């Protein structure tokens, strides 16, 4: 008998993926140009790795990382503080009828990539992978 978990089943819909990518590109653009009225946020270089939408498209979670990974917590606070303005600008620039509420999380895929590289450089792991 198959057991179903909440995270099983179909992944994000095409619409979730499309809107998520549109928001990711628009948010990256807005942050790069410094379109926000917050000088603390404008002085930072922030990478937007991915934006995931809830199934009802009401919440967009942006996974971000400051350049060099320094001051990550500050970046999340600054983005959260400017959430309403970011949402307004994204809605206008992306031409969305309804702009989802924005949430910000640290993009930890960079750390995972570094850890994977470290593992593959380990002599024992390399021997196992290459099959002696």
pLDDT for 118 beyond 50: yes
pLDDT, tens digit (0-9, with 9 covering 90-100), for 9-66:
578 999 999 999 999 999 999 999 999 999 999 999 999 999 999 999 999 999 999 9
The CATH number covering residue 74 comes to 3.30.300.20
3 lies in some domain: no
The pLDDT-based confidence of 124 (bands split at 50, 70, 90) is confident
pLDDT for 78 beyond 50: yes
125 lies in some domain: yes
Contact 51, 27 (CB under 8 A): yes
Mean pLDDT, the chain, rounded, equals 86
Contact 12, 52 (CB under 8 A): yes
- Proportion of the chain above pLDDT 90, given as a percent: 67
pLDDT for 3 beyond 80: no
Give which of 22, 97, 82, 28 is closest to 52, Cα–Cα: 22
9 lies in some domain: no
How many angstroms separate the CA atoms of 15 and 22, rounded? 10
How many angstroms separate the CA atoms of 35 and 30, rounded? 5
Give how many domains the chain has, as a whole number: 1
* pTM score: 0.77
**pLDDT for 122:** 75
Residues of the domain holding 89: 14-130
């Amino acid at each position: 008998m198959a057991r179903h978990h909440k995270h099983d089943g179909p992944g994000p819909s095409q619409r979730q993926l499309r809107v998520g990518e549109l928001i990711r590109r628009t948010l990256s653009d807005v942050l790069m140009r410094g379109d926000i009225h917050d000088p603390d946020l404008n002085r930072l270089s922030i990478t937007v790795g991915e934006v995931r939408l809830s199934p009802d498209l009401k919440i967009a979670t942006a996974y971000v990382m400051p350049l060099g990974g320094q001051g990550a917590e500050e970046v999340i606070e600054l983005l959260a503080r400017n959430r309403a303005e970011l949402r307004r600008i994204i809605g206008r620039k992306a031409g969305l009828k309804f702009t989802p509420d924005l949430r910000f999380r640290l993009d930890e895929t960079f750390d995972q990539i570094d850890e994977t590289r470290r593992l593959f450089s380990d002599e024992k792991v390399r021997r196992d992978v290459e099959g002696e």
